[in-house]
Amino acid sequence: MKKFFIMAMLAVAATSTYAQDIKSVLKAKDYAEAQSQLNSCLSSLSNEEKAKAYNKLVELSMQKVNKENSTIVENQALQQMGQQAKPVDMQGFYTSLTNALNAAQECDKYDHMPNAKGKVSPKFHKKNQATLWTLRPQLINAGQDCLQKDDNKGALAYYAAYVESGNSSLFADMDKTKAPDTYLGEVARVASVIAFQEKDMETANKYCDVALKDTASYKDALNLKMAMMQQQMKTKEDSVKCLKTFEELYANYYGNEAGYEIFWGGVVSTEIDGAAENFVIADNGDVYLKDAMSTLRQGNWIKGHKAEGDTIVFNFPQKYYQQEAEDEKGNPTGEMEYCYLWRTILSDGRDTFIPDPTSQTIKYVFRNDSLIRVDDFKQGIYLSLADADGVWVGYDGLETW
């Protein structure tokens, strides 16, 4: 009987301690205190209470955010009236906003878990969603401030918080047609660049993949992905794997064309942006086409002319690219060397392109305000960059428009 009484007393004491832990979180006066109390009792809380505790962290963080944000808005009005602005704790503002976002995501996770009765009944989701969505872009400003101070790690932390929160369940059911996240892809790309510079390849690839999902940042993210993958190539097997990934990534890009480059001594194909570039049709029938080489876009032009009907003819070789010449040791000679576009075919060994001995003319047709190539890779014809003698220098492209 005495043993039972002692056990009962221990149970009461445990319940009392548990209740006090919950109350201590909810009665905390600032974020640091509440976080400390929550960390000490988190494992003993139910899902419903965890959501309530994390929401308390959101509320305490937002007190600082709202205070500083109010001053920011007031300063904008003061500046318009030519009056002196009030001091703002921007670092405290950015830190508290980051804390609020992180706590809101944790709150949302437990808010969507079954309660003690087995039911899912979110209490904080909509409120936190509405409160924080419009404030998230301030994290971009925080990252920019860090970059101006050469604080790459700080910038990466803020950009990461922006990207992670944008992809979280907290904002998953938002109607983003009314409030689109126009910065997500570009912020993810910049975060990837910083991580790449910091040699954190796992993080760099993670955020680059986010940027690849945004059409606005896709092309730049694709170039970044290629650079990262090429840097990590050490063997021929790495090269083959890399190329397969390139093809998969490029296949998702709107308006593709086949491009060819040298990898490990062989000619391999990749998919390159094939969107039509600028072209001009002169009154005398001459046609000027910009950036014909898909894998080497530097604002260069080639010249063709109108033929019968809607056909446009380009005769090759044409001077296309120039660079400073170097001697055998790689030192500049002070002279310029030129490369030319040629109509080529793939060599029998499939290791280079050679001038097509049958013709140096490539035809297009003008249709629906676009140039459509007639002589293309489907017939084994390629437009390649070579020297004056027709020796290929490693670039090929422009299969179709």
Please write the tens of the pLDDT for every residue from 145-157.
999 999 999 999 9
DSSP H or E stretch at residue 101: helix 90-111
What's the mean pLDDT in 320-342?
83
Per the CB < 8 A criterion, the answer to whether 312 and 371 are in contact is: yes
Instruction: Choose between 68 and 246: higher pLDDT.
Output: 68
Please give the pLDDT value at position 18: 46
pLDDT by residue (tens digit) across 180-239?
899 999 999 999 999 999 999 999 999 999 998 887 888 788 878 877 877 777 776 776
* pLDDT at residue 368 is higher than 90: no
Select the more confidently predicted residue: 56 or 392: 56
Q: How far apart are CA 382 and CA 354, in angstroms?
A: 9
Quick one: pLDDT at residue 379?
Answer: 75
H or E segment to which residue 341 belongs: strand 332-346
Cα separation, 171 vs 312, in Å, equals 52
Q: pLDDT category, 19, cuts 50, 70, 90? A: very low
pLDDT value at residue 133: 95
Q: Could you give the CA distance from residue 396 to residue 384 in angstroms, rounded to a whole number?
A: 4
The full 3-state SS of 196-208, as one line of letters, equals HHCCCHHHHHHHH
| Most confident segment among 251-255, 291-295, 342-346 | 342-346
Amino acid at 247: E
Res. 127 pLDDT band, cuts 50 70 90: very high
Confidence of residue 93 (pLDDT cuts 50, 70, 90): very high
- In angstroms, the CA 242 to CA 230 distance is 7
Is residue 351's pLDDT more than 80?
no
Q: Which one has a higher pLDDT value, 215 or 275?
A: 215
Average pLDDT over all residues of the chain: 81
Confidence of residue 143 (pLDDT cuts 50, 70, 90): very high
Q: At residue 400, does pLDDT exceed 90? A: no
Mean pLDDT score, 242-252: 61
The CA-CA-CA angle for residues 141, 146, 150, to 5°, reads: 145
The whole-number pLDDT of residue 94 equals 97
pLDDT of residue 322: 82
